[in-house]
Structure 1
Amino acid sequence: MAQRPAPLCGILTPGNDEHIGRYEHVAALLVRCGAAVYGMGHVGHGESEGDRVLIGDFEDVVTGVHTVQEHARAHHPGVPVVVMIGHSMGGMIAARYVHRHGAVVAALRLSGP
């Protein structure tokens, strides 16, 4: 039996003083609904390298989100990419991402940006 393609690719971006592991329940729900889900650990957050909870330039983080988006798109060609945001700083990062790369995003979900 052939596997159905994912209806969408979701990218989770956590907020300040958070880590991607806090969104495992969100990712699990989306996967159960058939979505492909990707997440990233921001520099200095969770298990990522860097000074703890210190981001010197948010443009670098936005570039990191774009790298994840390119990876998702390469593994799921033709599938819409949705940037889904955890909370707070993640919302600001997503808003800036869409400002820079809006043409590649099918939808945006912000939570307490």
Structure 2
Amino acid sequence: MEYKGLLSALACWYDEDQYPAMLSKYELWIMSDGSWKKESIFHTRGVQKPLWFSQDGKLLYFASVTDELVMFDRATGELKYLGIDWFSSRGKIDPMMIPFFESFVQLN
């Protein structure tokens, strides 16, 4: 994923015993100065798939367990259901953002 213009990884763990609420723990890792650094840890429930961050990194958008688009405020831990059916709005493919970063290795 892209987070504030940097390459990032979002590691997640689901507690399947709590289905359908699915408590999830997330760790946000950022590539900075050639190494991975843990930026934050947060928890939420009722979501199944992280989609993208807002430009400022404060909001994270998810698909909920019912395929609704959800906005998660990382500062407050609040989930806001946006009333958009993610499954039917995406068609046959998953929309995604793939950030481009120049290589750390010179090819010549």
TM-score, L = length of structure 1: 0.26
TM-score (norm 2): 0.27
Tell me: higher relative CO, structure 1 or 2? Use CA pairs within 8 A at least 6 residues apart: 1
Give the helix-richer structure, 1 or 2.
Answer: 1
State which structure, 1 or 2, has the greater radius of gyration over its C-alpha atoms: 2
